[in-house]
Amino acid sequence: QVQLVESGGGLAQPGGSLRLSCAASGRIVSINTMGWYRQAPGKEREVVATIASGGRTNVADSVKGRFTISRDNAKNTVYLQMNSLKPEDTAVYYCNADIRTQTLDAIYYGYWGQGTQVTVSS
């Protein structure tokens, strides 16, 4: 059973910073793309940033220049460094990863973490 566990959320002031971590564990053969998504109250879940296994990244326009996604393949962990936080960044942030769990099965499935709350308020 694969699990993704997020950590690092909390309360920050506008202009502040937070660093989110997401560690995957369980029966993992390999991980392709990992990413961060967020969902604010009353809104649809949206992609924040993704990072491929080779390190190529895509970042949403709303957070470009402020957020940085990175990963440590040896630790099966993806990070989201959030700087210059704004109130509109307030949301539950979810980790996502495309994971292969069987050696004889080359299919990758998407897995989600439970989410971590990020609140930006003065």
pLDDT digits (tens, 9 = 90+) for 11-36: 999 999 999 999 999 999 999 999 99
**What pLDDT score does 1 carry?**
82
3-state secondary structure the chain: CCEEEEECCEEECCCCCEEEEEEEECCCCEEEEEEEEEECCCCCCEEEEEECCCCCEEECCCCCCCEEEEEEHHHCEEEEEECCCCHHHCEEEEEEEEEECECCECCCEEEECCCEEEEECC
Q: pLDDT digits over 52-96, tens only? A: 999 999 999 999 999 999 999 999 999 999 999 999 999 999 999
In the prediction, which pLDDT does 16 show? Answer: 98
